Chains A and B, each alone.
Chain A
Amino acid sequence: MDFELTEVQSELADGVRRLGEGQFRLDHLRTLESEGQVVDRQGWRQLGEAGVFNLCRPESEGGVGLGLAEAALVFEELGRALVPGPLVATHLAAGSVDGADDGSVVVGLLEADRTGDRAALPLIVEGLDDLDVLMVLSDDGVTAIDPAAVDATRLQRPMDPLTPVWAIPSPSTLPRGTPVAGPDVAARWRRDGAVLTAALQVGAATWVTDLAVEYAKQRRQFGRPIGGFQAVKHLCADMAVRAEVARCAVHAAAVTADQPDVGDAASAAAGAKLLADEAAIANGRSCIQVHGGMGFTWEVPAHLAYKRARVLATRFGTDDQLAEQLALSIPVPTGDVR
């Protein structure tokens, strides 16, 4: 048992971090704020060349042949860079949708049945204008539909300026689409999608911790850096703890998916997503708090991470759904159950 990153894994993560710092610089991303299209096609192809989408595809089928563990490390770095667009969906679609694996096609995903129990809530689809293919995921399986055929209204003030959104007035208006995969694949996509989305959240949770710590070191009030005050220092410490605990959960979930004999991969994925969502949201909020009044400005990027965390928390299971799933997975001592 060795739960540390291998040298190859560390190098992979470093490589993606460099790609993020080069191709997806924040000042560049910010020029796309509030646009209808946020996917830079050239950047997307570069992600494809770097193996982001075909990482888990077998080498015999042109993939990199690595596991979900490596994918989680890669997505952590993409999350750290706040790379916009349907990264997880395109990764999942590699092998099922032509062109997804090399980044020549942008594939979105809609979980059609996850709001079904709240009939008043419309379906919200992200980034429709960027998509070549929209996949619809339900317990029955996956279908692919033409994004242009979706009857949807673009919402004018998206919460995350880098996640444009459309409302679909009624799920019944969705085109039927062509079947891509059955229930088994759908279940696996839900699990892997949760792990990779959680990895994005951990990356963002770590990035805002760094941002808050940097600011706390240089911002001076009452004659000293504010990071010297316990009130601020402890906020930062809690951010670091949340990010690290969630990171371990995400890594364990990914490894468990790759090595099914070591545990219950579905529960591990649910737990990882639950804690990573919380870490990203709480750390985003704390980062704004550490920045004080400036944190509430559009200019300081803390809000971008906080808003993105909120977006990602709605995908592949909300906190309530995940906690419910986990509750039912707790082993109960026999004999004590009525």
Chain B
Amino acid sequence: MDLRYTDAEQAFRGELRHWLATTLPGLPPKPAPTDWPGRRAYDTHWQRLLFDAGYAGVDWPVEGGGRGSSPVEELVFKEELERAHAPYVGVNFVGLLHAGPTIIAEGTPEQRQRYLPAILNGDEVWCQGFSEPDAGSDLASMRTRAVRDGDHYVVTGSKIWTSHAEVADHCELLVRTGEDDSRHRGISWLILPMDTPGVEIRPLTTIAGSTEFAELFLDEVRVPVANRVGDENDGWRVTMVTLSFERGTAFVGDLLEAFELLSATVALARRTGAWDDAGIRRQAGHLRAELDALWALTKRNVSQAARTGIPGVGGTFFKLAYTETRSKLGEYSLSLLGRAALAADDVEGADGLGPLPSATMVEDWLRGISLTIAAGTSQIQRNIVGERILGLPKEPSGPPKPAAARVPS
């Protein structure tokens, strides 16, 4: 167990830090949260800067056009970007973290050539069409249907939780190509150009008031068979392969942001005088312990990925623990704001020392509510820990068997 970075890792950090220090001051002002074309332009401009500097797809293999960095370098990369308050991955999320890696692993040479460079340099934006209104945790029950018609699939159905759909060029789409009840054996992975006729986007507003998600309605949308990644009916495996690209760094930015939020919350408690209360101080101390432990767990997970090349079980542990800690932190900062939390505005403090950090804290609390739900609810995660890690008996995984005909008595 060694927490010291090697000379090479430190050199990587030093170069990156220097690049960030010289690049970030030149960024344009951030667009308004609801200005989606503006956000696309801002995020893809940032991606272009990363690309030009050789930092696009640090975690992608070299043969996919990435930098081929080790998991530890990837950790350093995300750590330095967060500490420097660099822009988030934003609208490039699905392309860089999901669609791209999938095409690298499972795409044809033509597909790789066509799609990967445009993800890396920020030219094209992707969204995800996996979940459906009736298929959330039970994704394998999805019903969006693709019927073969010559060299096209005709796709009809609906998707939900499609982020950045409004500004996306392509959608990674899971469709049912097998029998209705074929579950994970009858799913295919398609690349859907978002400007295809029959694609309707309806924005979905979250309880935090944000609009990055949408519902997608597909009405006889024609997708070329050549846009299928992997074999027909093999889309579930293709999707699972993508997950194996995770190397324990998924929450690095989030976690470091939580450390900052805790510091800001303590500063608020000191300012209001709440800090004189030992109970208030202990809650902060406890959160500090949890965040420190989660940072250690991150390093453990990354180290495991570096040794074995595959994500260990630690990612599930991390998500369960982190999302609960983050919820606690949100509740804690909210309670310290008292009635100043009744608006997500930076309301002026009554002490003449300027605005309170209400906007950040209220927004963070609201966004935090999604964490125990998104990307696998905590309940599903606990099933995974119980069954795959502890070996407890499995939950029923298919639709219930039809009840046997009852014999009237």
A252 to B382, CA, bound (A): 25
Q: In the bound complex, do residue A252 and residue B296 qualify as a contact, i.e. CB atoms below 8 Å apart? A: yes
Q: In the bound complex, do residue A228 and residue B285 qualify as a contact, i.e. CB atoms below 8 Å apart? A: no
Query: Among the listed A227, A228, A332, which residue makes an inter-chain contact with B266, where contact means beta carbons less than 8 Å apart?
Result: A332
Q: In the bound complex, do residue B267 and residue A333 qualify as a contact, i.e. CB atoms below 8 Å apart? A: yes
Chain B proximity mask over A238-251: 1 for CB below 8 Å, otherwise 0: 10110011101101
- The interface size bin for chain B is 35 or more
Query: Among the listed A224, A234, A261, A272, which residue makes an inter-chain contact with B4, where contact means beta carbons less than 8 Å apart?
Result: A261
- Residues of A at the B interface (CB closer than 8 Å) are 1-6, 9, 69, 209, 213, 216-217, 224-225, 227-228, 230, 233-234, 236-238, 240-241, 244-246, 248-249, 251-252, 254-256, 259, 261-263, 267-268, 270-272, 274-275, 319-320, 322-333, 336-338
Q: In the bound complex, do residue B385 and residue A240 qualify as a contact, i.e. CB atoms below 8 Å apart? A: yes
Chain A proximity mask over B281-323: 1 for CB below 8 Å, otherwise 0: 1111110111011111101101110110000001001001100
Query: Among the listed B5, B295, B353, B391, which residue makes an inter-chain contact with A1, where contact means beta carbons less than 8 Å apart?
Result: B5
Q: In the bound complex, do residue B307 and residue A330 qualify as a contact, i.e. CB atoms below 8 Å apart? A: no
A249 to B293, CA, bound (A): 5
Tell me the B370-391 residues at the A interface (CB within 8 Å): 379, 381-383, 385-387, 389-391
A241 to B324, CA, bound (A): 12
Q: In the bound complex, do residue A233 and residue B4 qualify as a contact, i.e. CB atoms below 8 Å apart? A: no
Between B300, B302, B392, the greatest number of chain A beta carbons within 10 A of the residue's beta carbon is seen for B392
Q: In the bound complex, do residue A275 and residue B390 qualify as a contact, i.e. CB atoms below 8 Å apart? A: no
Residues of A within 8 A of B263 (CB): 330-333
Residues of A within 8 A of B283 (CB): 323
Residues of B within 8 A of A6 (CB): 1
Residues of B within 8 A of A241 (CB): 317, 320-321, 385
Q: In the bound complex, do residue A4 and residue B307 qualify as a contact, i.e. CB atoms below 8 Å apart? A: yes
Residues of B within 8 A of A227 (CB): 386, 390, 392-393
A325 to B382, CA, bound (A): 32
Q: Which residue of B lies closest to A264 (CB)?
A: B292
A11 to B381, CA, bound (A): 31
A-B interface pairs (CB < 8 A), number:
202
- Residues of B at the A interface (CB closer than 8 Å) are 1-6, 9, 72, 75, 262-264, 266-268, 270-271, 278, 281-286, 288-290, 292-297, 299-300, 302-304, 306-307, 314, 317, 320-321, 351, 353, 379, 381-383, 385-387, 389-395
Residues of A within 8 A of B314 (CB): 244
Smallest Cβ distance from B367 to chain A, in angstroms?
A: 21
Residues of B within 8 A of A255 (CB): 1-3
Residues of A within 8 A of B307 (CB): 2, 4
Q: Which residue of B lies closest to A336 (CB)?
A: B267
Q: In the bound complex, do residue B9 and residue A1 qualify as a contact, i.e. CB atoms below 8 Å apart? A: yes
Residues of A within 8 A of B5 (CB): 1
Q: In the bound complex, do residue A259 and residue B4 qualify as a contact, i.e. CB atoms below 8 Å apart? A: yes
A177 to B289, CA, bound (A): 36
**Complex A-B: 28 CB contacts under 8 Å:** A1-B2, A1-B3, A1-B4, A1-B5, A1-B299, A3-B3, A4-B1, A4-B300, A230-B383, A233-B383, A237-B382, A237-B383, A237-B389, A241-B320, A248-B300, A255-B1, A259-B3, A261-B4, A267-B288, A270-B289, A320-B278, A326-B284, A326-B285, A327-B282, A327-B284, A330-B266, A332-B267, A333-B263
Residues of B within 8 A of A228 (CB): 392-395
Q: In the bound complex, do residue B281 and residue A327 qualify as a contact, i.e. CB atoms below 8 Å apart? A: yes
If A213-B391, A324-B285, A325-B285 are given as contacts, then 9 extra A-B residue pairs at C-beta distance below 8 Å, sorted by A number, are: A1-B5, A3-B1, A224-B393, A230-B395, A241-B320, A245-B290, A245-B293, A251-B300, A252-B295
Q: In the bound complex, do residue A271 and residue B288 qualify as a contact, i.e. CB atoms below 8 Å apart? A: yes
Residues of B within 8 A of A275 (CB): 289-290, 293
Residues of B within 8 A of A246 (CB): 293
A302 to B3, CA, bound (A): 35
Residues of A within 8 A of B9 (CB): 1
Residues of A within 8 A of B379 (CB): 230, 234
A319 to B284, CA, bound (A): 13
Smallest Cβ distance from A180 to chain B, in angstroms?
A: 30
